[in-house]
Structure 1
Amino acid sequence: MNFEVIIGLEVHCELTTQSKMFSASPVTFGQAPNTKVNEVDLGMTGTMPVLNKTGVEYAVRVCHALNMEIDELLRFDRKNYYYSDLPKGFQITQDRFPIGRNGTMEIEVDGKKKTIEIERLHMEEDTAKQLHFDDHTLIDYNRSGIPLIEIVTKPNIRSGKEAAAYLEKLRSIFLYTKVSDAKMEEGSMRCDVNVSIRPFGSDKFGTRTEIKNLNSISNVQKAIEFEVSRQEKILLQGGKVLQETRRYDEGLKETVLMRSKGDAVDYKYYPEPNILPIRLDHQWVLDIKEALPEMPEERIKRYVEKYQLPKNDAKILVATKEISDYYDEAIRYTKEYKLVCNWLLGETMAYLNKSNTTIEAIKMIPKCLAEMVNCVVDETISSKQAKKVFDLMMETGKDPETIIEENHMKQISSVDEIRKIVCDVLDKNPQSIEDYKNGKDRAVGFLVGQIMKVTGGQANPGITNKVLIEELKSR
């Protein structure tokens, strides 16, 4: 029996506003526990929430990027439950009236395009962070109240690959719209996965399991693929899939049970009494859309159509916004679009990986990379010399012209000058001329080596070879 996989994703994203969603406490990461909180975050009696306008703006940015219908009447609700990480005993969220509905995102997997439908985007506040030990749990309230958006897809994702492609693109949207750093390893982007399977042709959903605590996009794909396989085995053996919450164990490379789930919890939502409905100014919403930066898909199109880059190269460039921004800055100073791309995706990426650093932290500025490429194209330096110039730019931050002058690397490209040097070398090596006339091609290599020795490697290789052959044939 063949099964159809049904997947829905729920993604939480922390917004990088300066202050929290309903209080003036700063949004931070990695600070000393319980040092970035105030009375509102701790749910003290008599405190009142005040809505963060920038948090709303960031949510609207993402709604626009996901082609969503935006509800311009903001309404908040209370989600009532008590956990130790929720000091008020309720969470301020949006239940029936999310700010965004009916979005779409186009992804590409194995060369095939697919539209992922997005059900809703709503705003809420984050909970505190729990630190579990063998015999006790500690709570850090610094995270309590940080602005969150939650984005829920419709169940039309059909594989782990599709889920990974969706998350990669969603993460790039967060980065390009500058609403979040979207670091899954730090919890600023979190994903819950709902997975079920059903026989092909059936219109009835199977029993779904929820997978939590996934800390990377690759683990999302691995968890889905294992869970699909697990559920298939159960059904093929005549068993029944149970409604459960599971987590992915990286060591075991499988999902393991956290807890069984019964019917949906009744959170007894009701309108938040301390935040009255707020009507957003229509022009303000439109202005946010107009101010959005160029999105990854638009950049890919520009790179391919305007700069003639291979599509795969363009995709790699835009995968990291900072790399793409660096490229855009560099090509302001050169027309050699493909060469700049090659240096970025080749030597520069290798340097970043080897040094375990980021493009923002390197000493070589985009203009210098472009100028070095220009030096190669106009034959001021050779491709071999360019690698040395590149290393020195990374090491010192100096511009290529200074490095070339300091290291006496400027190529000799004057035909007349090179011809004079070639003639001097030939005059001193008559045996090599005889060897060449006798068909010994290695004589050419020897003579080129002698010329490079005389010029300190600065003779233009192409011109040198051409002039050398001309002179050899004339003797």
Structure 2
Amino acid sequence: MKYELVSGFETHIELQTKTKIFCGCTTQFGGEPNTHCCPVCIGLPGTLPVLNREVVRYAIKAGLAVHGEIAEVAKMDRKNYCYPDLSKAYQISQLYAPLIIGGYVELSNGRRIRLHHIHIEEDAGKLIHRHGDTYVDYNRGGVPLIEIVSEPDIRSIDEAKEYVEKLQQVMRSIGVSDCKMQEGSMRCDVNISVRPEGSDKFGTRTEIKNMNSITNIAKAMEYEYDRQVDLIESGGKVVQETLRYDDASGTTSSMRSKEDAHDYRYFRDPDLVTINISREEVEELRAQLPELPAEKCKRYIDELGIPEKDAQLLTKYRRISEYFDEAIDGVKSPKTVSNFIIGQIFRRVETENDKEAFDVATTPAQLNELVKLLDSGKIRNNLAKATLEKMLDSGKGVLEFISESDMGGMDENALLELCKAAVEGNPKAVEDFRNGKEKAIKALVGNVMKNSRGKADAQAAEAKIKELIG
């Protein structure tokens, strides 16, 4: 029997406000343990929380960016449970009246992963296990989160990966979070079940907690899918439970039985006021949203002629798309700019962190100047590529490496002499070409381009060489 994977995600995203959700402590990542906290965020008796208005505004932007409906009235609730990283023994969250209802994330295959809701809440502290002892660092406690809860619409591991990537792109592009999974500012709880193909009845789900890398999400889902299928086919039953994933062994293991909402004894937080959102404020925040990655990708393809794969690479990271937008100002061929970025510049920014920061020595204005020289025919592509490498090494502008004589082009007689020298100096390539090896001509053209310092026209050189060879 074939089985279908059914999955939904609860994605926790830390918001990039300067201060925490209910106090004035910094949200900065790192720092010495227990130095970014105060009596309010660790819940000492007699303290009262005050909701950070920017948290609400950031959450509304996030909701709008994923097509959600902003509630006019939202309320804060207490989620009660005892764990060492939760100093108050309850977490201030939302259940009964969340800030954002509905929404969706559209995948490349056209399917929409529906969102049930998005709510705001405070993050918990962090447990550090060392040499058999456990320490608690409350620096993260009280950092503002949004939790994005999807419907169980995901049907494959590839869809799951794309869903997380799309959320990451959108939240980064609107500036509400850096979504650095390696630092915990984006974490996923993965709910997964299996059912016979063609069935419309959900199976028993398990939840894999606190996944902080897309690679591990894929591995954990693959293992858990296989485990559940094997269990069912051997006559067993899947138990609803919360699991942890061990990336060393590539397996999941039970943490506790899976809780439902009633297990947390939610009730309205008596210390916090009702949140009232005006339609005017919602529209004001909607107007502040930048062009979203999906919209920008479509514009690059439809209006600029960028191939779909390249457009997706350019829009995956906010800084790269901003760099590209500035570098194409007034150029004839935006695709040339795209080729330089994806080809030469990407070789120097290989990691996810490098691409996210996109801190390269050549400014968009400098790249723009280089491409305009190429557009105008003053320099050839080979010279432009070589010049860009020098610009990226030094941070200097185009004119530091290209002289007036370089921009003068090459007259017919000079080109003819270089082509004759290439033919006379490379008899093996000439013989190969005469014997039907078409690629041999490239070596001869390359010789001309090298000796002309990129000034020659490659097509004209190839035609001249073929004429000389006969």
Give the superposition deviation at 1:107.
Answer: 0.8
Question: Is the contact made by 1:412 and 1:459 (CA closer than 8 Å) also made in structure 2?
Answer: no
Give the superposition deviation at 1:452.
Answer: 7.2
CA distance in 2, matches of 1:260, 1:355: 36
Larger Rg: 1
Q: Quick one: structure 1 residues 100 and 357, their matched pair in 2 at CA, closer, same or farther if it must change by over 3 Å?
A: closer
CA distance in 2, matches of 1:409, 1:247: 66
The reply on whether 1:326 has 2:323 as its aligned counterpart is yes
The reply on whether 1:238 has 2:235 as its aligned counterpart is yes
Specify every segment of 5 or more residues in structure 1 that has no aligned partner in the other structure, as ranges: none
Question: Is the contact made by 2:383 and 2:453 (CA closer than 8 Å) also made in structure 1?
Answer: no
Match of 1:30 in 2: 30
Superposed CA offset, 1:374-417 (max 9, x none): 33333433322223211111111111122213xx87154253xx
Match of 1:286 in 2: 283
Match of 1:115 in 2: 112
Match of 1:303 in 2: 300
The reply on whether 1:341 has 2:331 as its aligned counterpart is no
Counterpart pick for 2:374 among 373, 376, 379: 376
Q: Which structure 2 residues correspond to residues 212-251 of structure 1 after superposition, within 5 A?
A: 212-251=209-248
Q: Which structure 2 residues correspond to residues 268-283 of structure 1 after superposition, within 5 A?
A: 268-283=265-280
Question: Is the contact made by 1:423 and 1:471 (CA closer than 8 Å) also made in structure 2?
Answer: no
Q: Secondary structure at the match of 2:350?
A: helix
Q: Secondary structure at the match of 1:256?
A: strand
* Counterpart AA for 2:378: T
Question: Is the contact made by 1:72 and 1:280 (CA closer than 8 Å) also made in structure 2?
Answer: yes
Range with greater deviation from structure 2 (94-103 or 242-251): 242-251
CA distance in 2, matches of 1:169, 1:13: 13
CA distance in 2, matches of 1:80, 1:17: 25
Give the superposition deviation at 1:44.
Answer: 1.3
Superposed CA offset, 1:153-190 (max 9, x none): 11121111111111111111110111000011110000
CA distance in 2, matches of 1:167, 1:446: 46
CA distance in 1, matches of 2:339, 2:463: 28
Question: Is the contact made by 2:344 and 2:389 (CA closer than 8 Å) also made in structure 1?
Answer: no
Give the superposition deviation at 1:322.
Answer: 1.3
Match of 2:437 in 1: none
Computed over aligned residues only, the root mean square deviation of the Cα atoms, in angstroms, reads 3.2
Give the superposition deviation at 1:446.
Answer: 11
Question: Is the contact made by 1:174 and 1:181 (CA closer than 8 Å) also made in structure 2?
Answer: yes
% of aligned pairs identical?
40
CA distance in 2, matches of 1:116, 1:424: 61
Q: Which structure 2 residues correspond to residues 416-427 of structure 1 after superposition, within 5 A?
A: 418-419=412-413, 422=416
Give the superposition deviation at 1:63.
Answer: 0.8
Question: Is the contact made by 2:381 and 2:454 (CA closer than 8 Å) also made in structure 1?
Answer: no
The reply on whether 1:190 has 2:184 as its aligned counterpart is no
Q: Which structure 2 residues correspond to residues 113-262 of structure 1 after superposition, within 5 A?
A: 113-261=110-258
* Counterpart AA for 2:231: I
Match of 1:396 in 2: 394
Give the superposition deviation at 1:294.
Answer: 0.4
Give the superposition deviation at 1:424.
Answer: 11
Counterpart pick for 2:406 among 410, 414, 418: 410
Give the superposition deviation at 1:201.
Answer: 4.2
CA distance in 1, matches of 2:374, 2:58: 44
TM-score, length basis structure 2: 0.89
Give the superposition deviation at 1:463.
Answer: 4.7
Range with greater deviation from structure 2 (43-52 or 354-363): 354-363
Match of 1:11 in 2: 11
Give the superposition deviation at 1:269.
Answer: 1.4
The reply on whether 1:95 has 2:92 as its aligned counterpart is no
CA distance in 2, matches of 1:332, 1:143: 42
Q: Quick one: structure 1 residues 361 and 57, their matched pair in 2 at CA, closer, same or farther if it must change by over 3 Å?
A: same
Q: Which structure 2 residues correspond to residues 36-51 of structure 1 after superposition, within 5 A?
A: 36-51=36-51
Q: Secondary structure at the match of 1:88?
A: coil
Q: Secondary structure at the match of 2:154?
A: coil
Specify every segment of 5 or more residues in structure 2 that has no aligned partner in the other structure, as ranges: 435-440
* Counterpart AA for 1:413: G
* Counterpart AA for 1:387: K
Question: Is the contact made by 1:333 and 1:367 (CA closer than 8 Å) also made in structure 2?
Answer: no
Question: Is the contact made by 1:413 and 1:463 (CA closer than 8 Å) also made in structure 2?
Answer: no
Give the superposition deviation at 1:350.
Answer: 0.9
Superposed CA offset, 1:185-227 (max 9, x none): 1100000011111223444322211111312112212211221
Superposed CA offset, 1:269-304 (max 9, x none): 111111121322220111101111000111011101
TM-score, length basis structure 1: 0.88
Q: Quick one: structure 1 residues 24 and 345, their matched pair in 2 at CA, closer, same or farther if it must change by over 3 Å?
A: same
Q: Quick one: structure 1 residues 107 and 459, their matched pair in 2 at CA, closer, same or farther if it must change by over 3 Å?
A: closer
CA distance in 1, matches of 2:444, 2:7: 68
Q: Secondary structure at the match of 2:31?
A: coil
Q: Secondary structure at the match of 1:91?
A: strand
Question: Is the contact made by 1:333 and 1:371 (CA closer than 8 Å) also made in structure 2?
Answer: no
Range with greater deviation from structure 2 (244-253 or 143-152): 244-253
Question: Is the contact made by 2:415 and 2:461 (CA closer than 8 Å) also made in structure 1?
Answer: no
Q: Quick one: structure 1 residues 463 and 213, their matched pair in 2 at CA, closer, same or farther if it must change by over 3 Å?
A: same
Superposed CA offset, 1:125-150 (max 9, x none): 11111111242211111111000000
Range with greater deviation from structure 2 (185-194 or 279-288): 279-288
Question: Is the contact made by 2:101 and 2:117 (CA closer than 8 Å) also made in structure 1?
Answer: yes
